[in-house]
């Protein structure tokens, strides 16, 4: 829709699938009482070129041909603000676009694909990834890359590297693994001194 708000109220799921719900300049409001709001499964590269529209201008009496702009993407888009409310469900933005030109407000039990949501203003109700986890994973990746590089150097010319003192200066990281369980525990029914039943 080129102008005007888009308001959608459903009792169950709102499934956009491979189509789109766009409000190019105005607001988008979606309410699902007992279901989920799913931005769809369409590609962000899909394009739609609407046909020209010919209309009669009532003031001049002339025929006017308008060429609507091409629309790209799928999912949910609002040029203004967007409000997504699903008190008993979740908002799924994994596969298609969820793009808002201004502010976004989400009230849901869970938001999936929050990292793919694009907001031009303030986002309320959109979870963000904790920074400490990202930093920790970056350090692990750096240690892994360094160890792999060192192993490759050693296999290609380890003697030269050892002579230069390169292997002595490399600090290795340590990875600890704790095994919490192996599955269901089987009760031992064997009595010492007696023959155990075959399993």
What was the pLDDT predicted at 188?
A: 63
187 is a domain residue: no
Q: What is the pLDDT along the chain (199 residues), one digit of tens a residue?
A: 467 899 999 999 998 887 888 887 899 999 999 999 998 887 767 777 888 889 898 899 899 998 887 777 778 889 899 999 999 999 998 877 888 999 999 999 999 988 889 999 999 998 875 544 444 444 444 554 555 555 555 455 545 544 555 445 555 666 667 777 666 666 666 777 777 665 5
What was the pLDDT predicted at 1?
A: 47
Strand partners, 31: 9, 85
85 is a domain residue: yes
Phi, psi of 13 (to 5 degrees): -75, 145
Domain final position from 104, 128, 152 = 128
One domain for residues 159 and 112: no
One domain for residues 101 and 45: yes
One domain for residues 98 and 64: yes
185 is a domain residue: no
Element (H, E) at 158: helix 131-163
175 is a domain residue: no
169 is a domain residue: no
| Structural domain boundaries enclosing 150 | 132-164
What was the pLDDT predicted at 152?
A: 56
One domain for residues 42 and 87: yes
One domain for residues 49 and 110: yes
Please write down the long-range contacts of 114-121, taking CB distance under 8 Å and 24 or more positions apart.
Answer: 117/93, 121/81
Which residue is associated with the tokens 């609407």?
50
β-strands 123-124, 6-10 pairing: unpaired
110 token code pair: 């869970």
Q: 0.95 cut: is pTM over it?
A: no
Q: Could you tell me if 57 and 79 are in contact, meaning their C-beta atoms sit under 8 angstroms apart?
A: no
170 is a domain residue: no
Per 3-state DSSP, the chain is made up of helix, strand and coil in percentages (nearest 5) of: 20, 30, 50
What was the pLDDT predicted at 105?
A: 95
One domain for residues 58 and 101: yes
What was the pLDDT predicted at 136?
A: 45
β-strands 6-10, 28-32 pairing: parallel
């Amino acid at each position: 829709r080129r102008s005007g708000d888009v308001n959608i109220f459903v009792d169950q799921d709102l499934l956009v699938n491979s189509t789109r719900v766009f409000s190019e300049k105005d607001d988008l409001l979606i309410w699902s009482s007992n279901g989920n709001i799913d931005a769809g499964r369409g590609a962000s590269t899909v394009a739609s070129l609407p046909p020209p529209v010919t209309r009669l201008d009532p003031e001049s009496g002339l025929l006017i041909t308008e060429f609507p702009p091409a629309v790209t993407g799928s999912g949910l888009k609002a040029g203004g603000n967007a409000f997504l409310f699903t008190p008993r469900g979740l908002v799924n933005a994994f596969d298609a676009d969820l793009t808002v030109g201004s502010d976004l407000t989400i009230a849901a039990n869970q938001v999936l694909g929050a990292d793919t949501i694009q907001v031009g203003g303030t986002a309320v109700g959109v979870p963000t990834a904790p920074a400490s986890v990202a930093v920790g994973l970056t350090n692990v990746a750096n240690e892994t890359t360094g160890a792999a590089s060192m192993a490759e150097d050693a296999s290609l010319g380890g003697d030269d590297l050892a002579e230069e003192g390169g292997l002595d200066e490399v600090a290795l990281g340590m990875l600890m693994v704790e095994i919490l369980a192996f599955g269901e525990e089987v009760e031992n029914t064997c009595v010492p001194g007696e023959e155990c039943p075959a399993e």
